Amino acid sequence: MSGRLGAAFGRARAEGRAALVAFVEAGDPSLAVTGRLLPALQAAGADVIELGIPFSDPIADGPVIQRASQRALGAGATLAKVLDAAAAARGEGLSVPLVAFSYANPILAFGVAAFARRAAEAGIDGVLVTDLPPEEGEAAAATFVSSGLDPVFLLAPSSTPARIRRAARLSSGFVYLVSRPGVTGARNDLPEGLPDLVARVRAGIGRTPLAVGFGISSPEQVRAVSREADGVVVGSAIVRTMEEAVAAGRDPVPAAARLVSSLAAATRG
């Protein structure tokens, strides 16, 4: 287990707030930008950064992250190069925990054991694989653990109590709760019944930190979710802010950092 994830959630908990988990698509619009982005988001107050690994067929993603994934692939991003970029950022002193957020196939093509070794060397802390539920992911999770990575499994409103317990047993670092049925993408509202859902999940996962994501985009939403969960994940809103900045001919890094700092402030109430 990497200590960084546990420490980040522990610190936020000690401060009486939720951790801000910022998702970015690695390599969008280029790996050079990602290299500047990571320290900027750390400085802006992200407690954890999820690095989306681009994939040709992202079935769990809405249009914003689909486009980002296409841009990243078009600019030549691969899993290997993303890991190199993470290693370079660590070399320059990046301390924020990093979670690789991938679809199964790029990792399978790399080889699960080879990926785990390389990711750990590169300073990745956790791994979350969207289309690898516990049924298919037990062996991979064990490989991640033995390389010192935290496997993070997803839960959803449709998860049964038995599934909730199983995901918690296989996860370390945190468990990721998908707040609503559907794909990634910013929404204006929070799902009804989120507090009940969080309570139901908590009953099954014990003390493992719980991060909630999907559809969360504004500081108000972050503030509301912070009251329920140990972590709040924001993805599409950051990715879209960067897309808009690039389209307007501006540097996407400060634009993303400004948004992240307002979201980080929102976790503090």
- Contact flag: residue 196 with another protein (CB under 8 A): no
What DSSP string runs through 117-165? Answer: HHHHHTT--EEEETT--HHHHHHHHHHHHHTTPEEE-EE-TT--HHHHH
Interface residue with another protein, options 21, 141, 168, 183 (CB under 8 A): 183
Structure token pair of residue 269: 């109430």
- Residue 34 near residue 26, CB atoms below 8 Å: yes
CB of residue 265 to another protein, shortest distance in Å = 31
CB of residue 12 to another protein, shortest distance in Å = 24
- Bridge partners of 231, per DSSP, are 19, 211
Q: State the DSSP H helix or E strand holding residue 175, giving kind and residue range, or none if neither.
A: strand 175-178
Q: Which of residues 117-136 bind another protein (CB under 8 A)?
A: 130-133, 135-136
- Contact flag: residue 193 with another protein (CB under 8 A): no
Catalytic residue, chosen from 50, 150, 228, 230, is 50
**Tally of residues, the chain:** 269
Amino acid 48 reads: V
- Contact flag: residue 148 with another protein (CB under 8 A): no
114 conformational bin, left if phi > 0, alpha if psi -120 to 50, beta if neither: alpha
Structure token pair of residue 219: 């500081």
Catalytic residue, chosen from 25, 28, 47, 61, is 61
CB of residue 172 to another protein, shortest distance in Å = 17
- Contact flag: residue 155 with another protein (CB under 8 A): yes
CB of residue 17 to another protein, shortest distance in Å = 26
Stretch that binds another protein, among 21-29, 44-52, 142-150, 160-168 (CB under 8 A): 160-168
- Residue 241 near residue 255, CB atoms below 8 Å: yes
Residues that bind another protein in the complex, under the rule CB under 8 A: 55-60, 62, 66, 70, 73, 78-80, 103-110, 130-133, 135-136, 153-160, 163, 167, 178, 181-183
